[in-house]
Amino acid sequence: MSASLLLGVLMDTALSASPWGVVISMLVGMSLSLLLVVRYFNRSYSTLAPPSDTEDTSERF
């Protein structure tokens, strides 16, 4: 997240667009961090959860 914040600060100083570079880079950084956390917990849950044998494979009408 700090790398995207640094990129936002550099973009703000180069383009004189403050505070939009920092705001956008923080949103991108937080979104990527949330995605990584969700993927981590999903992977952990998938390895700990028992296999699902309750799926109905017959045709439904």
List, for residues 19-30, the tens digit of each pLDDT value. 888 888 888 888
pLDDT at position 57, please? 60
37 pLDDT exceeds 90?
Answer: yes
pTM, full prediction: 0.60
Q: Which of 5-9, 17-21, 23-27, 49-53 has the lowest mean pLDDT?
A: 49-53
Alpha-carbon span 34 to 53, nearest angstrom: 31
Q: Which residue has the tokens 């044998």?
A: 53
Three-state SS for 1-60 is: CHHHHHHHHHHHHHHCCCCHHHHHHHHHHHHHHHHHHHHHHHHHHHHHCCCCCCCCCCCC
Confidence tier at 36 by pLDDT (50, 70, 90): very high
Nearest to 26 by CA among 46, 3, 47: 3
